[in-house]
Structure 1
Amino acid sequence: MAEAATGFLEQLKSCIVWSWTYLWTVWFFIVLFLVYILRVPLKINDNLSTVSMFLNTLTPKFYVALTGTSSLISGLILIFEWWYFRKYGTSFIEQVSVSHLRPLLGGVDNNSSNNSNSSNGDSDSNRQSVSECKVWRNPLNLFRGAEYNRYTWVTGREPLTYYDMNLSAQDHQTFFTCDSDHLRPADAIMQKAWRERNPQARISAAHEALEINECATAYILLAEEEATTIAEAEKLFKQALKAGDGCYRRSQQLQHHGSQYEAQHRRDTNVLVYIKRRLAMCARRLGRTREAVKMMRDLMKEFPLLSMFNIHENLLEALLELQAYADVQAVLAKYDDISLPKSATICYTAALLKARAVSDKFSPEAASRRGLSTAEMNAVEAIHRAVEFNPHVPKYLLEMKSLILPPEHILKRGDSEAIAYAFFHLAHWKRVEGALNLLHCTWEGIPQHFVCPLKLCHGESGEHPPIQSVAPANTDLREAPSSTHLTHRCHRLLRANSLWTARKHDFEKGKPFRDFKMYMDYSILKAVFVVQNSLMFSSILFCLQKRRRKSKIKLLCIA
C-alpha cells in the first residue's frame, strides 16, 4: 500500500514538473484571460489607482530606509555565507539548493535521464565494477602498536600481509604528503619515513622529525606504531591534533594563492580528518562511546564532502553499541542510497534492524505452520539483499568459520570485508535476541543459484571462486597476489552480482534496464525475478520443515 502511494506521488510530481516545463505559455495566457474577465468584480482599476496614488505620496526617506534595510539583510546573508564557508568549506545556499530544493523542483528531467541511461549504461556499470573491485581502506582498522602487535607478542607471527602493509604505505604517502614537503625539513623526513619498510626505521624518523618542530604526521606514526596501549595512542593523537589544527588554519588562509598552497591545504585537511577520526576510535575503544559518537557527528558536519574515509560506518558501529537503533536508522536512511557505494556494514545493519522487529517472537515451528508475516517477510528480504551483496558474512556471524584479526584493507563483497564486518558487529547481532536464528534459517533457505545468479562465471557448481583475501588466512599467513590478479578475479565474481543487484532494483522501481554487456536479457531476468519471489518463501519453509523433521527424529531416538 505504501509503495503504491509513493508511486502515485512520484507520478503526480513528474506530471506537475512536466506541465510547468512545457506548458508555461498556456498557463500565462490563462492567467491573463482570468484577470481580464474578473477585472470588474475584483475592482482592478480602482485598486491600481489607489496603488499609484500611494506611490506618488511616498517621500525620499522611504526609499532611503528601504535601501538601507535591503543592504542590511544582504550584509547579514553575506556574513553568514562567509562563516559557513569558513567552517564547512562549502556554500550554504548552494548546498541547500543542490541537496534539498533541486529534488523537490525536479532538477533532473525524466526524459533526458531516460535517454542518457542507454548512452551512459556502459560507463555506469564500469564505474560500479571499478568501485567494488578496488581495494578499500578498512574504516574500523585496528592500531598496529596497541592491537596488532599483541598478536605478534603472543604467537610470534605477523598479523598483516606485506601486500596489505604496502597498500597502507601507499595510502599514507597519498594522504600525508604533498609536493612541497621538501621545503620543510620535518615534512621531508616524514616523506621518507612513510616509504620505509622497517618499523623501527619509521619510528626513528618520526622522533627525528619531532626534534625539528611539532610535526602532526610524526605524532600520527608514533601513535599508530609505537604506542603499546590505546591510552598512549590517544595522548599522542591529541598532540597531533594540536599541531595539525595549527597547520590547517594557516594553510586555509593561503590556499587561494596558488596550486602549491592548495595541495598543502588538501594534505592538512586529510591529516586533520584522520586525527579526529582516530581520536573518536580511541574513545570508542576506551568505553567512552557517547563521546565517540559526538566526535564522529561533529567531524561529519565539519567535513561533509570527505566521504572517502567512510566515517559513517564508524558511527553506525558506535550507535549499535549504545543500542540507539532509531539513530542507526536515521544514518542508514542518509547513506543507504543507490548512488553511493554500498558496503557489508550498510546492508547487514539494515537487515539487523529489520530482524530486530520480529526476531524475539520468531519461531521456525510456528512459521512453518502459519507462514511468515509481513514484518517477517521484510526481514527475510533484507537478509536476502545483504547475503546477495556479500555471501561470506553469514558464515562468520554464525561462527561456522573462525575469525581472525581484520585487515587494514578490504575488498568489497569479498571475504576480507566479511571478516572486518563480523569482527566488530558479531556482538551486536548476539545482543538482539533471535537475530542470528532468523539469519541462520534465511541463509539456509537461500538457493545457491540465487546467491550466484545463473552460475555466470562461476562454473557448473554455482559457487564463488576462491578469492585470496588481503587478510591472512585462517591457518597460514600467505601473502596476497598482485593487484592485477586480484582485480581480474574480483571482476569475474562481481559481473553477475552487480548485474543482479542493479537490475533487480531497476525492475522493482519500474526503471529501464541499463546495458551491462552481460548474457542476461530482459526476458530471462524477468523470469528469474518471478521465480525468486515465488521460491523464496517456499525455500524458507522447506528449511524450517527440514529442521522440524530433524528435531522429531531426535525425539524418537531419545524415546
Structure 2
Amino acid sequence: MAEAGTGFLEQLKSCIVWSWTYLWTLWFFIMLFLVYILRVPLKINDNLTTVSMFLNTLTPKFYVALTGTSSLISGLILIFEWWYFRKYGTSFIEQVSVSHLRPLLGGVDNSAPSATSAAAGDADSSRQSVSECKVWRNPLNLFRGAEYNRYTWVTGREPLTYYDMNLSAQDHQTFFTCDTDHMRPADAIMQKAWRERNPQARISAAHEALELNECATAYILLAEEEATTIVEAEKLFKQALKAGEGCYRRSQQLQHHGAQYEAQHRRDTNVLVYIKRRLAMCARKLGRTREAVKMMRDLMKEFPLLSMFNIHENLLEALLELQAYADVQAVLAKYDDISLPKSATICYTAALLKARAVSDKFSPEAASRRGLSTAEMNAVEAIHRAVEFNPHVPKYLLEMKSLILPPEHILKRGDSEAIAYAFFHLQHWKRVEGALNLLHCTWEGTFRMIPYPLEKGHLFYPYPICTETADRELLPSFHEVSVYPKKELPFFILFTAGLCSFTAMLALLTHQFPELMGVFAKAFLSTLFAPLNFVMEKVESILPSSLWHQLTRI
C-alpha cells in the first residue's frame, strides 16, 4: 500500500514537472485569468491606486537614490562575475542555476542518461575522458635546486604550484619507497623525507640518512633540491648511481625469494632508471649531447618495458639538437603508432620533419597560384594533425605568447604540455629554415576541419573539457592560461554590465533633469501598459460584470 502511494506521488510529481516544462504558457494565462477574476475581493484596483498615489508623492531624490543603488549593486555583481569567470572559466550565477535550481525543476531526470545507455553509449567517451585528463610526469622536467630555485632567487616568483609539487611527492613515494624500508634505517628516514613538505627538512633528512649508509635515494634528493648547479647535481647523481647499482644487483639475486624481495627489486629498478635518465639529462644540459644520446639508447635497451618515464621524448630532443633527422624519424617510426598514446612531442616532431622537406622553398603566394604539391600537402596535414592534438603549441612556437618554466607535471593536449614542448623545442623549429613560416601560414586552418572540437574530432578524440581546470592547478598564477576553444563571455556578465550602465545613466539623468525624466517615465509606463489595458477592456466587454457574484452564488 505504501509503495502504491509512493508511486502515485512520483507520477503526480513527474506530471507537474512535465506541465511546468512544456505548458508554462498555459499556466501563465491561467494565473492571469485567476488574478482578473479575483480582482474585486483582492482589491487589486484599490491597491494599485494606493501604490500610484504613494509613488507620486516621492521626490526625484528617491529615484536618484534607487537607480544609484541599483547601479552599485549590479556593478558589484559584475565585478564578482568577471573575477569568478577569469579564475574558474564559468559564470557563478549560471553554475548555481545548473547545480541547484535545475534539479528542483526536474532537469536532472530529463537530461541524465539511463543506466543502459550510459553503459552502452558512454563507455568509450568516459574512458577517453579519464585518460585524456590524466596528469603525466613531465619527461623533461627541470631540476628544483639548479633551475627552479634559481628562477625564484632572481624573480621572486614561485614557478611551481603546490598541486604540482604534491604530485611530485606522490611520485617519489611511489618510485623510491617500498614496504620493507622500515627494516633499513637509512631507507626508513628517506621514506619520511619524501613526505616532508618543508624542503629544508627533506634535505636534512637526506644528510642524516647518508650518515648511516650510502643511500641512493638520499643522493637523488640532494641532487634534485640542494645542488645549485647542474655540475653539482651530476656529481651527486654519479654517487647515487654507484650506490643504486649495488642495491640493484643485490635485490636482483633475491627477487624470487618472496613478495617483499620482489617489491624491493622493483623499487631498486625504478631508482636505477631514474638516476641514469637524470645523468643523461645532465650531460645534455652540459653540452655533451652525443654522450646523452648514447646513455638514453642504452637505458632504453636495458629496460625496454619501463615506458612510464617516456625516455624516448628525451631522446628525440637530444637527436634534434644533433640534427640527426634520420635517427629522429627512426624513433618516430617506433613510437608514433596508432596503438600507443600520443604527445605533443610526437605529433609536432613528426610535423617538423615533414615541414623540413618543403619549408625552405615554401611561399604562400606561389602555393595559392599553383596549388600545393604532394610533399607540401603532407606537411600541412601533419601540422593540422599536431594542432588538433594540442592547439596551444603554435602560439608559443610563433612567440605570440610568452613562455614560462615548464611544470613538473603536464596535462596532455593542455597548456602545460604546450609550454613544456615549446620550452625545449622552439630552438629546433627556428633551426629549420622556413618551418615557423609554414606553421604560421597553415596552423589556423585546422579549426575549419573541427568546428565543434568538444563534440567531434577529426583524427583524435574530441578535445577534453577538463584541460583548463587542470592547467590552472598546474601552472603558476602569474601565467595567463591558454583556453581552447575560446570561451565567450557568459550571458550574466553581459547582462549585469548592461544593467549597471543603464541604471547609472538613469541615476545621472534623474539627478540632472528631474522634471523631464518624470514626464518620460510616465509616458514610458503608459506606453508599456497600453496593450495590457487594451486586453483588459476587451475581456471586460466579453465577460459579464457580475461574474464573480454569480460564481459566489453557485
Where on the TM-score scale, by shorter chain, does this alignment land: which range? 0.5 to 0.7
Aligned to 2:136, what secondary structure does the other structure show? strand
- Give 1:444 shift: 2.8
- 1:347 matches 2:350: no
C-alpha distance in structure 2 between counterparts of 1:382 and 1:451, whole Å: 19
- Give 1:128 shift: 4.1
Q: Kindly indicate whether the alpha-carbon contact (under 8 Å) linking 2:224 and 2:233 is maintained by their aligned counterparts in 1.
A: yes
Aligned to 1:277, what secondary structure does the other structure show? helix
Where do 1:297-376 residues align within 5 Å? Answer: 297-376=297-376
> Residue by residue, what CA displacement relative to the aligned partner does 1:156-178 show, whole Å, maximum 9, x if unpaired?
12110000000000000000000
What is the aligned partner in structure 2 of residue 525 from structure 1?
Answer: none
C-alpha distance in structure 1 between counterparts of 2:268 and 2:348, whole Å: 34
Q: Kindly indicate whether the alpha-carbon contact (under 8 Å) linking 2:207 and 2:218 is maintained by their aligned counterparts in 1.
A: yes
Where do 1:16-415 residues align within 5 Å? Answer: 126-415=126-415
Q: Kindly indicate whether the alpha-carbon contact (under 8 Å) linking 1:161 and 1:472 is maintained by their aligned counterparts in 2.
A: yes
Residues 1:202 and 1:125: Cα distance change in structure 2 (over 3 Å): same
> Residue by residue, what CA displacement relative to the aligned partner does 1:312-370 show, whole Å, maximum 9, x if unpaired?
00000000000000000000000001111110000000000000000001001111110
Residues 1:127 and 1:307: Cα distance change in structure 2 (over 3 Å): farther
The amino acid that maps onto 1:322 is L
Equivalent residues, number: 359
C-alpha distance in structure 2 between counterparts of 1:336 and 1:138, whole Å: 18
C-alpha distance in structure 2 between counterparts of 1:307 and 1:271, whole Å: 14
C-alpha distance in structure 1 between counterparts of 2:394 and 2:211, whole Å: 50
C-alpha distance in structure 2 between counterparts of 1:152 and 1:316, whole Å: 29
C-alpha distance in structure 2 between counterparts of 1:474 and 1:349, whole Å: 29
Q: Of the candidates 475, 479, 484, which is equivalent to residue 472 of structure 1?
A: 475
- Give 1:155 shift: 1.3
What is the aligned partner in structure 1 of residue 34 from structure 2?
Answer: none
C-alpha distance in structure 1 between counterparts of 2:141 and 2:255, whole Å: 31
> Residue by residue, what CA displacement relative to the aligned partner does 1:428-482 show, whole Å, maximum 9, x if unpaired?
000000001111111133335616437569xxxx99784451443473599xxxx
C-alpha distance in structure 2 between counterparts of 1:124 and 1:267, whole Å: 34
Aligned to 1:436, what secondary structure does the other structure show? helix
C-alpha distance in structure 2 between counterparts of 1:452 and 1:425, whole Å: 29
What is the aligned partner in structure 1 of residue 99 from structure 2?
Answer: none
Residues 1:476 and 1:411: Cα distance change in structure 2 (over 3 Å): closer
Residues 1:120 and 1:383: Cα distance change in structure 2 (over 3 Å): farther
C-alpha distance in structure 2 between counterparts of 1:314 and 1:476, whole Å: 25
C-alpha distance in structure 1 between counterparts of 2:226 and 2:345, whole Å: 30
Q: Kindly indicate whether the alpha-carbon contact (under 8 Å) linking 1:182 and 1:188 is maintained by their aligned counterparts in 2.
A: yes
The amino acid that maps onto 2:173 is Q
Structure showing greater relative contact order (alpha-carbon pairs closer than 8 Å, 6 or more residues apart) = 2
C-alpha distance in structure 2 between counterparts of 1:403 and 1:447, whole Å: 23
The amino acid that maps onto 2:308 is M
C-alpha distance in structure 2 between counterparts of 1:318 and 1:304, whole Å: 19
C-alpha distance in structure 1 between counterparts of 2:334 and 2:264, whole Å: 31
Q: Kindly indicate whether the alpha-carbon contact (under 8 Å) linking 2:247 and 2:268 is maintained by their aligned counterparts in 1.
A: yes
Q: Kindly indicate whether the alpha-carbon contact (under 8 Å) linking 2:450 and 2:456 is maintained by their aligned counterparts in 1.
A: no
Gaps of 5+ in 1: 1-118, 479-488, 494-559
- Alignment root-mean-square deviation, CA: 2.5
> Which is greater in Rg?
2
Gaps of 5+ in 2: 1-118, 458-462, 488-554
Residues 1:293 and 1:391: Cα distance change in structure 2 (over 3 Å): same
Aligned to 1:179, what secondary structure does the other structure show? coil
C-alpha distance in structure 1 between counterparts of 2:269 and 2:280, whole Å: 17
C-alpha distance in structure 1 between counterparts of 2:265 and 2:357, whole Å: 47
> Residue by residue, what CA displacement relative to the aligned partner does 1:276-327 show, whole Å, maximum 9, x if unpaired?
0000000000000000000000000000000010000000000000000000
Q: Kindly indicate whether the alpha-carbon contact (under 8 Å) linking 1:402 and 1:474 is maintained by their aligned counterparts in 2.
A: no
TM-score by length of 1: 0.61
TM-score by length of 2: 0.62
The amino acid that maps onto 2:353 is L
Aligned to 1:410, what secondary structure does the other structure show? strand
> Residue by residue, what CA displacement relative to the aligned partner does 1:389-424 show, whole Å, maximum 9, x if unpaired?
111111111111100000000001000000000000
Aligned to 1:376, what secondary structure does the other structure show? helix
C-alpha distance in structure 1 between counterparts of 2:454 and 2:143, whole Å: 42
What is the aligned partner in structure 2 of residue 441 from structure 1?
Answer: 441
C-alpha distance in structure 2 between counterparts of 1:188 and 1:421, whole Å: 37
- Give 1:198 shift: 0.5
Q: Kindly indicate whether the alpha-carbon contact (under 8 Å) linking 2:244 and 2:268 is maintained by their aligned counterparts in 1.
A: yes
Q: Kindly indicate whether the alpha-carbon contact (under 8 Å) linking 1:452 and 1:463 is maintained by their aligned counterparts in 2.
A: no
Q: Kindly indicate whether the alpha-carbon contact (under 8 Å) linking 2:255 and 2:265 is maintained by their aligned counterparts in 1.
A: yes
Aligned to 2:139, what secondary structure does the other structure show? coil
> Residue by residue, what CA displacement relative to the aligned partner does 1:247-286 show, whole Å, maximum 9, x if unpaired?
0000000000000000000000000000000000000000
Aligned to 2:269, what secondary structure does the other structure show? helix
Aligned to 1:346, what secondary structure does the other structure show? helix
The amino acid that maps onto 2:284 is R
Aligned to 1:224, what secondary structure does the other structure show? helix
Q: Kindly indicate whether the alpha-carbon contact (under 8 Å) linking 1:455 and 1:463 is maintained by their aligned counterparts in 2.
A: no
> Residue by residue, what CA displacement relative to the aligned partner does 1:220-265 show, whole Å, maximum 9, x if unpaired?
0000000000000000000000000000000000000000000000
> Residue by residue, what CA displacement relative to the aligned partner does 1:72-130 show, whole Å, maximum 9, x if unpaired?
xxxxxxxxxxxxxxxxxxxxxxxxxxxxxxxxxxxxxxxxxxxxxxx999766554443
Aligned to 2:180, what secondary structure does the other structure show? helix
Q: Kindly indicate whether the alpha-carbon contact (under 8 Å) linking 1:159 and 1:477 is maintained by their aligned counterparts in 2.
A: no
Q: Kindly indicate whether the alpha-carbon contact (under 8 Å) linking 1:161 and 1:477 is maintained by their aligned counterparts in 2.
A: no
C-alpha distance in structure 2 between counterparts of 1:420 and 1:232, whole Å: 24
Residues 1:331 and 1:277: Cα distance change in structure 2 (over 3 Å): same
Residues 1:128 and 1:330: Cα distance change in structure 2 (over 3 Å): farther
Q: Kindly indicate whether the alpha-carbon contact (under 8 Å) linking 1:404 and 1:474 is maintained by their aligned counterparts in 2.
A: no
C-alpha distance in structure 2 between counterparts of 1:463 and 1:204, whole Å: 42
Q: Kindly indicate whether the alpha-carbon contact (under 8 Å) linking 1:347 and 1:385 is maintained by their aligned counterparts in 2.
A: yes
Q: Kindly indicate whether the alpha-carbon contact (under 8 Å) linking 1:169 and 1:195 is maintained by their aligned counterparts in 2.
A: yes
